[in-house]
């Protein structure tokens, strides 16, 4: 169990809905001890990449597809084969019926969940200095075109994963997408290892021996797609029932497994209530908004709208995005990330957008209309 020091008691996010509406005991302990996990990477992926790099004169850009081709051609190394075998092996705890229900939860609330992921999880997530250093060093968000492409690629992975036909089955598009990202993360760790040097990190408060995209931060990312989304929906007055929360959690438990989180470290294995405690612990331990995080957050919000902030003046579309973000993440974290306080017109329009999102989610529960709306969403968004 993770214990918290008194110096890390600041609450960046309001967990009141989890305690009062979802009946999660506020004393629920986190099942994960994060401290040792910052030094743990993803051994199967890291080993496979190292083996591939030794076998080829230069590391390919599309690492996963290269390994897949080498396996088909019979030229893959034992480490590459071991990685693919592990990726294809479905854990015995996977409940496909529950995963399908979790996928249906996503399709009922597609627009609302995407809004939370973009304006909440992503825009508010640049509060971990350790992750921000990795993003800056890899040139993430350095180009507006790349920003939109990366956001689109992530969204497409989520849409594919929610495909109730073959999403997440070995060989499916979603399965391939997750593994591509997993090996991309392995390449980031490999590059960092070459120029690694112990240094004092003020944000962590100790000798920095962490590795980029470690197990702790991978867990934080998984919680961002799962617990943060469920909590973000409550800011729109959308409250998932118990079965929907647990099914959506199970869906992302398997996604976390595919992304390289070891099962013994995976908090999603303990159910939704434990992920609330785990997310709260993670935020307390590692969230420390700084100027770099504020700049990254502002970059995302400006690149996904038509207008960009210039000096102290921001365009109306950008103002709307900021207003929506402030609703979802709350004023404490928004202020810490230096999100500007927007005008009344933008705030009212943001409330109207949130109302529409609530309405689009609610309409899916109308017996004669819901199935048609869900079917259309799948037809448009799934490859």
How many other CB atoms sit within 10 Å of the CB of residue 164?
17
pLDDT at 9: 63
Is residue 250 within 8 Å of 309, Cβ to Cβ? no
DSSP code string of 278-294: HHHHHHHHH----HHHH
pLDDT at 59: 74
Distance between CA atoms of residues 340 and 225, nearest Å: 25
Q: Where are the alpha helices (DSSP H) in the chain?
A: 16-20, 43-55, 63-73, 78-88, 96-108, 110-116, 123-124, 129-137, 144-161, 173-194, 215-225, 227-234, 242-258, 272-286, 291-303, 316-329, 331-336, 344-363, 370-381
Task: Convert 196-214 to b/e letters by CB count within 10 Å (16 or more is b).
Answer: eeeeeeeebeeebebbbbb
Is residue 269 within 8 Å of 92, Cβ to Cβ? no
Distance between CA atoms of residues 218 and 225, nearest Å: 11
Q: 233 CB contacts (<8 Å, ≥6 apart)?
A: 109, 112, 113, 116, 239, 240
DSSP code string of 216-267: HHHHHHHHHHTHHHHHHHHTTT----HHHHHHHHHHHHHHHHHTT--GGG-G
Distance between CA atoms of residues 129 and 292, nearest Å: 8
pLDDT at 191: 82
**DSSP label at residue 166:** T
Distance between CA atoms of residues 184 and 48, nearest Å: 12
One pLDDT digit (tens) per residue for the chain, 383 residues: 443 333 356 788 899 999 999 999 999 999 999 999 999 999 999 999 999 999 887 777 789 999 999 999 999 999 999 999 999 999 999 999 999 999 999 999 999 999 999 999 999 999 998 888 888 877 766 667 777 778 888 888 899 888 877 778 999 988 999 999 999 899 988 888 776 544 444 444 444 557 888 999 999 999 999 999 999 999 999 999 999 999 999 999 999 999 999 999 999 999 999 999 999 999 999 999 999 999 889 888 887 775 444 444 444 588 999 999 999 999 999 999 999 999 999 999 999 999 999 999 999 999 999 999 999 998 888 87
């Amino acid at each position: 169990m993770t214990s918290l020091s008194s110096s890390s008691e600041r609450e960046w996010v309001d967990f009141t809905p989890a305690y009062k509406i979802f009946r999660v005991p506020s004393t629920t302990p986190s099942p994960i001890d994060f401290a040792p996990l910052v030094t743990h990477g993803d051994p199967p992926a890291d080993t496979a990449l190292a083996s591939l790099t030794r076998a080829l004169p230069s590391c390919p850009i599309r690492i996963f597809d290269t390994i897949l081709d080498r396996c088909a051609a019979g030229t893959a190394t034992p480490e590459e084969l071991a990685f693919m075998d592990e990726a294809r092996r479905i854990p015995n705890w996977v409940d496909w019926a529950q995963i399908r229900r979790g996928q249906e939860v996503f399709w009922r609330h597609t627009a609302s969940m995407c809004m939370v992921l973009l304006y909440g999880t992503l825009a508010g997530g640049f509060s971990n200095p350790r992750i921000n250093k990795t993003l800056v060093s890899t040139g993430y968000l350095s180009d507006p075109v790349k920003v939109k492409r990366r956001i689109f690629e992530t969204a497409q992975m989520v849409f594919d994963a929610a495909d109730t036909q073959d999403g997440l089955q070995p060989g499916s598009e979603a399965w391939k997408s997750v593994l591509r990202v997993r090996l991309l993360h392995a390449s980031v760790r490999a590059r960092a290892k070459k120029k690694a040097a112990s240094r004092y990190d003020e944000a962590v408060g100790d000798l920095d021996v962490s590795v980029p995209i470690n197990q702790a931060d991978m867990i934080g990312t998984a919680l961002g797609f799962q617990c943060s989304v469920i909590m973000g929906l409550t800011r729109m007055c959308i409250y998932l029932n118990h079965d929907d929360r647990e099914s959506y959690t199970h869906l992302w438990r398997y996604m976390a497994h595919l992304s390289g989180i070891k099962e013994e470290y995976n908090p999603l294995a303990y159910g939704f209530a434990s992920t609330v405690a785990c997310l709260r612990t993670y935020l307390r331990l590692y969230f420390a908004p700084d100027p770099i995080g504020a700049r990254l957050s502002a970059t995302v919000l400006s690149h996904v709208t038509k207008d960009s902030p210039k000096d102290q003046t921001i365009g109306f579309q950008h103002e709307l995005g900021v207003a929506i973000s402030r609703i979802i993440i709350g004023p404490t974290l928004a202020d810490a990330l230096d999100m500007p306080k927007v005008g009344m017109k933008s705030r009212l329009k943001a409330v109207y957008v949130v109302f529409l999102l609530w309405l689009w989610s609610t309409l899916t529960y109308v017996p004669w209309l819901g199935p048609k709306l869900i079917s259309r969403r799948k037809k448009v968004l799934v490859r």
